[in-house]
């Protein structure tokens, strides 16, 4: 047991970090391993791989994920901002490299060097947007709000070019929520909403696979019948088959034919094997993490930590909600993983960065540290156009 009298960095971290958030994330990590173990063997068999290929890889990816998460959670807010800026620049560079040199998968160029850089971009974008908005609230001599506004198209346009409309929608929702929290006038909020609606219409009109997904969701019969919605129909049947209490671990049958049983549709496999009550328990863990983080944000005196906490919590919660909504056939398929439960490499590392930043900005800090962070002078080497720390 670490004593309160101990003055080491680890002791200081232990007594200031939100241990309830850590517990919630730890529960999701353990559940993820168990559920991937149940859902992935049929997929591995179809690909002629060892039965526990994906489970072993998930465990391997979790090692750097946990290391990154815990390492970032030690950072003070000013270093969180700098780390986010570094991740953002590197991710944008890799996204442009993927557009030019990456290999195409299902009509999109999202991968390069075996990673999906847009995953790492998400938490960095949220932190930078929170930084700019908080600076705009504190310093009227800086065009920080305009930087936050311009940051959005600079980030989502490369994602649209890939194309990756799922991540674009996710970042748009979080960005809009941050501006709503900042007290943006209703006129601008209406304009943002209208812009989002126009973007959806344009995507439906000019992007074939977006139009196909929307039509499959609204009226499967128009697009060729049941086969066009095979995954979501199978996912729905999985929940119906499992009922309230499930068939038991390993007893699911629909995972044998569900193509993405270990990734996008692992929630449906969980519904069949463990039942709807267990699925509601998982939803409760996500809700606990998001609501606790939002409660911490509401009580934080530092504007940057307040916005960053809320933005990262919403990023985490909205991604989980989208995945579960797709599994329940409540919205068109998005290709988005269930945080810490779906199998993944880039997505797991990205979640490690997200939660690491979240733990860092929710750590308890003395008033003197908050005042020092606010009063930190602008460095002579600060890049033009970047809000001062």
The tokens for 284 are 């409760």
Domain with 33, as residue range(s), is 11-365
Q: What is the mean pLDDT of residues 336-354?
A: 91
The residue ranking higher by pLDDT, 135 or 130, is 130
Bridge partners (DSSP) of residue 202 are none
120 in a structural domain? yes
User: What total number of domains does the chain contain?
Assistant: 1
Q: Is the pLDDT of residue 128 over 50?
A: yes
pTM of the full structure: 0.85
Q: Give the dihedral sign, CA 278/26/125/389.
A: positive
376 in a structural domain? no
State residue 278 phi and psi, 5-degree precision.
Answer: -70, -40
Nearest CA-CA partner of 117 in 86, 131, 96: 96
Lowest mean per-residue pLDDT among 208-212, 309-313, 320-324: 208-212
22 in a structural domain? yes
**pLDDT reported for residue 385:** 40
**pLDDT reported for residue 387:** 46
195 in a structural domain? yes
Tens digit of pLDDT for each residue in 196-246? 666 667 666 666 666 666 666 666 555 444 445 677 778 888 888 888 888
* Percent of the chain scoring above 90 in pLDDT: 39
Q: What is the mean pLDDT of residues 119-134?
A: 93
385 in a structural domain? no
386 in a structural domain? no
The residue ranking higher by pLDDT, 152 or 68, is 68
49 in a structural domain? yes
2 in a structural domain? no
């Amino acid at each position: 047991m670490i004593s309160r009298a101990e003055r080491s960095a680890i002791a200081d971290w232990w007594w200031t970090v939100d241990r309830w958030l850590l517990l919630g994330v730890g529960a999701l990590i353990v559940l993820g391993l168990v559920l991937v173990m149940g859902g992935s063997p049929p997929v591995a068999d179809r690909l002629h791989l060892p039965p526990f290929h994906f489970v072993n890889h998930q465990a391997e990816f979790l090692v750097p994920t946990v290391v990154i998460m815990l390492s970032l959670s030690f950072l003070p807010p000013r270093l969180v901002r700098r780390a986010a800026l570094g991740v953002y620049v590197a991710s944008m560079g890799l996204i442009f490299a993927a557009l030019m040199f990456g290999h195409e998968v299902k009509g999109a160029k999202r991968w390069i060097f075996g990673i999906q850089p847009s995953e790492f971009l998400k938490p960095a974008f949220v932190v930078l947007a929170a930084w700019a908005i908080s600076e705009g609230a504190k310093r009227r001599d800086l065009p920080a709000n305009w930087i936050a506004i311009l940051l959005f198209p600079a980030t989502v346009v490369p994602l649209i070019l890939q194309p990756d409309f799922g991540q674009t929608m996710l970042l748009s929702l979080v960005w809009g929520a941050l501006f709503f929290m900042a007290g943006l006038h209703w006129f601008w909020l209406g304009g943002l909403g209208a812009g989002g609606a126009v973007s959806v219409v344009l995507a439906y009109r000019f992007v074939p696979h977006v139009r196909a997904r929307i039509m499959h969701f609204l009226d499967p019969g128009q697009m060729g019948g049941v086969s066009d919605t095979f995954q979501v129909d199978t996912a729905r049947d999985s929940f119906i088959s499992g009922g309230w209490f499930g068939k038991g671990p390993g007893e699911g049958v629909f995972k044998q034919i569900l193509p993405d049983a270990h990734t996008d549709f692992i929630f449906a496999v969980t519904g069949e094997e463990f039942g709807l009550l267990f699925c509601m328990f998982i939803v409760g863990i996500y809700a606990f993490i998001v609501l606790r983080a939002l409660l911490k944000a509401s009580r934080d005196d530092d504007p940057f930590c307040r916005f960053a906490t809320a933005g990262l919590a919403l990023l985490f919660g909205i991604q989980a909600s989208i995945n579960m909504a797709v599994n329940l056939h409540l919205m068109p398929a998005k290709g988005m993983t269930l945080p810490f439960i779906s199998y993944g490499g880039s997505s797991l590392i990205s979640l490690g960065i997200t939660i690491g930043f979240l733990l860092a900005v929710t750590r308890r800090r003395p008033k003197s540290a908050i005042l020092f962070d606010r009063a930190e002078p602008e460095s002579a080497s600060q890049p033009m156009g970047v809000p001062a720390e």
